[in-house]
Structure formats: C-alpha cells, structure tokens
Amino acid sequence: MNEERKQALQILKIAKGQIEAAIKMIEDDRYCIDVSNQILASQSLLKKSDLLILKQHMKHCIKESFKNNNEDEKIDEVIKLLTKMIGK
Amino acid sequence: MNEERKQALQILKIAKGQIEAAIKMIEDDRYCIDVSNQILASQSLLKKSDLLILKQHMKHCIKESFKNNNEDEKIDEVIKLLTKMIGK
Amino acid sequence: MNEERKQALQILKIAKGQIEAAIKMIEDDRYCIDVSNQILASQSLLKKSDLLILKQHMKHCIKESFKNNNEDEKIDEVIKLLTKMIGK
Amino acid sequence: MNEERKQALQILKIAKGQIEAAIKMIEDDRYCIDVSNQILASQSLLKKSDLLILKQHMKHCIKESFKNNNEDEKIDEVIKLLTKMIGK
C-alpha cells in the first residue's frame, strides 16, 4: 500500500470514531450546535482522505494512463468525480 | 427525541457503515475512484444529517430564543456554524 | 438598507470585478491554475455575501415570522436554500 | 484557445451577468431568499467553469508534464488547488 493510501486509511478510521461520537451525542440529547460541529469535524477528515486518494490516483493511475494512451478516459473519470465532490 | 433528531441519528448510522465499507475497500486495495465514490456517499449522508440537526435547531432552539430575547446570540451561533459548513 | 445588505452589495461588486479579471485572464491565455485561483477568489466572496444575506434574513424575516406564526414555512424555505448551498 | 477554455469563458460571462442581476436585486430591495438563489446560480456557473479549466489543464499541461518529468510538481499544484476548491 502506498503512503497516501496508508494516510487516507488512518484518517478514515479517525473519521469513523468521530461519527460514533456524534451518534452518542445525539443519543445523549446534546446541544444541536455541538452535534453539528462534531459532524463537521468528520466531514473535514473525509475531505482530507478523499484528496489523498485522488493524489495517489493521479500520481500512479493517471501516470500509467499516459503510457497506455488511455489518459482521456481517465481524466474524464477524475473530472466526473470532482464534479460530485465540488457539487453543482 | 424529536423527529429530525431521530432521522439524523439513523442517517449517521448508515454513514458510519459506509465509512467502514470505504476502510475495507482501501484494505482490499480497490480502485481509487471506487473508494472515493464510497467516501463521497458517506459525505452526502453527513450533509443530510447536518441539515436535519440544523432544521430542528431552528424549529426549537431558535424559536425559544425569540421568546427569551437572546435570538441575536443564537443567530450568530448558527451563522458561525454555516460559515464552517459552506467553507470560505 | 440594513448593514448586512450593504456589506453583501459591496462584496458582490468586488466579486464582479474578480470575475471580469478572470475573463481577461482567459482571453490573455494565462496559466490555468492562476485562472482557477482567480475564479476561486470570487467564489469565496460570493459565499461571504450569501452568508450576510442569510444572516439578515434570519435577524429580520425569520424574527418577523415568529410573530406572525408562519415560522415553520420560513424555516423550511431557509433549509431548502441551505441544501442548495451545501450541496448533496 | 482550446474548446474547454472557450466554454469556460462563455460560462464566466454568463456568471458575471448573474452577479450583476444579484446586485440589482439588492439595490431594488428584493426578498432575501430570491437574492440568495440568484447568487447560488452564479456560484454554480463558477464551479462549472472551474472544472472546465481544470479538465483542459489535465488534458494539456499535466500531459505535457509527464513528458518533461515534472509531473509530481504539477500534480501537487492541482491537489493544492483542489484543496481550496473542496474546502477543509
């Protein structure tokens, strides 16, 4: 597993812990703004892990695609993903 | 627990399951774009639960604040949260 | 015009200037990343003006709605807007 | 000018028109939610033009960078940009 994937994996595990904490906060009837901030913290980590996955995708898979002459297809795939990430 | 909190709780639990799936996908060395789409799916759910928390906050806590004449403070709190949600 | 609207107006005018600059940058065939950063700067300002509009909406219109007992309708309207802002 | 840049340019010009409309709406004291929806429409166009710029950057500049063996630098540049786009 390359370095970026390792980091993304570790960050996802922390994000999972934060969602578990948010679930507990709702069950304990905690204040809305605090719950929401907790959810936002996990969203922030998911974005980080997304960017790491994307970085290693570009460094490895996109690089490979230029060798194999199927880069246009791969770039379209990335742009389609980014469209979802960024929203409309 | 009010209806929106119940829904937010249920959605958070599904989001947690999706992050667990994303973790497994990285451990199984699955294709980057698929991993990223899985993470995006959980982010989408987190946004939904965030909006539900916010909705019930406005319906209950903000409503209460107008009675107690501390609505300005509460509105500032919401706007501060929204700034984080929307990004800069 | 209240203070938030005045600020939002001023920020929108700056954002317009930045988009004009981005247009000129593309016409001058400037480097992609620089163009994109310019567009991002204007997006950041649009978010700021959006939040200001929303803040004064909550301070004035939502406040009014609690007096008129149509707050549920107004809150649904805000949440619908936020859903668009935050994305899905 | 390549196809994506042409499209991005055209979209930016429409976005500029929409911001001008939003400015007029505030000056005419129009309803907050309508103003905000107008601003959101222009943000949506800015995202579209951003993605077009990015697409052609990947198709042309990143492609070039693989030939020149400075792809790592160029990929880092894109990821830095995406981090700003996606928010934290």
* Rounded Cα gap, residues B32 and D21, in angstroms: 41
Residue D68 sits at the chain B interface (C-beta within 8 Å): no
- Rounded to a whole number of angstroms, the distance from the CA of A86 to the nearest CA of chain C is 8
Q: What is the pLDDT of residues D42-58, one digit of tens each?
A: 999 999 999 999 999 99
Q: How far apart are alpha carbons B58 and C61 in whole angstroms?
A: 13
Average pLDDT over residues C24-36: 97
CA distance A72 to A75: 5
Q: Which pLDDT belongs to residue D1?
A: 85
Q: Is C57 exposed, middle or buried (0-12, 13-18, 19+ CB in 10 A)?
A: buried
CA distance D66 to chain C (A): 17
Q: Are B46 and A46 inside 8 Å of each other by CB?
A: yes
Average model confidence (pLDDT) for chain C?
A: 93
Q: Rounded to the nearest 5 degrees, what angle is found at the Cα of D21, between the Cα atoms of D28 and D1?
A: 165
What number of residues does chain A have? 88
Tell whether A51 is within 8 A of chain D (Cβ): yes
Q: Are C58 and B78 in contact (CB under 8 A)?
A: yes
Contacts of A75 in chain D (CB under 8 A): 55, 58-59, 62
Q: How confident is the model over A10-62, as pLDDT tens digits?
A: 999 999 999 999 999 999 999 999 999 999 999 999 999 999 999 999 988 98
- Gyration radius of chain B over CA positions: 17
pLDDT of residue A87: 75
Average pLDDT over residues A60-71: 87
User: Which chains sit next to C, with 3 or more Cβ pairs under 8 A?
Assistant: A, B, D
Of B15, B23, B81, the CB nearest to A37: B81
CA distance B3 to B59: 12
DSSP letter for each residue of B58-85: IIIIIHHHHHTT-HHHHHHHHHHHHHHH
Determine the residue of chain B that is closest to C40 in CA distance. Answer: B88
The pLDDT assigned to A33 comes to: 96
| pLDDT tens for the 88 residues of chain D, in order | 899 999 999 999 999 999 999 999 999 999 999 999 999 999 999 999 999 999 999 988 988 888 888 988 999 999 999 988 887 6
Nearest CA in chain B to D40: B86
DSSP characters over D21-74: HHHHHHHTT--HHHHHHHHHHHHHHHHHHHHHHHHHIIIIIIHHHHHHT-HHHH
Contact between D38 and D14 under an 8 Å Cβ cutoff? The reply is: no
Nearest CA in chain B to D84: B88
Does residue A79 contact residue D49 with C-beta atoms inside 8 Å? no
| Per-residue pLDDT band at A88 (split at 50, 70, 90) | low
With tokens 């706007």, the residue in question is B79
In chain B, residues with a C-beta closer than 8 Å to the C-beta of D87 are: 86-88
Percent of chain C beyond pLDDT 70?
Answer: 99
Residues of chain B with pLDDT under 70: 88
In angstroms, the CA C77 to CA B58 distance is 12
Delineate the domains of chain A, giving CATH numbers in brackets. 3-86 (1.20.58.1000)
pLDDT at B69: 87
What pLDDT does D69 receive? 87
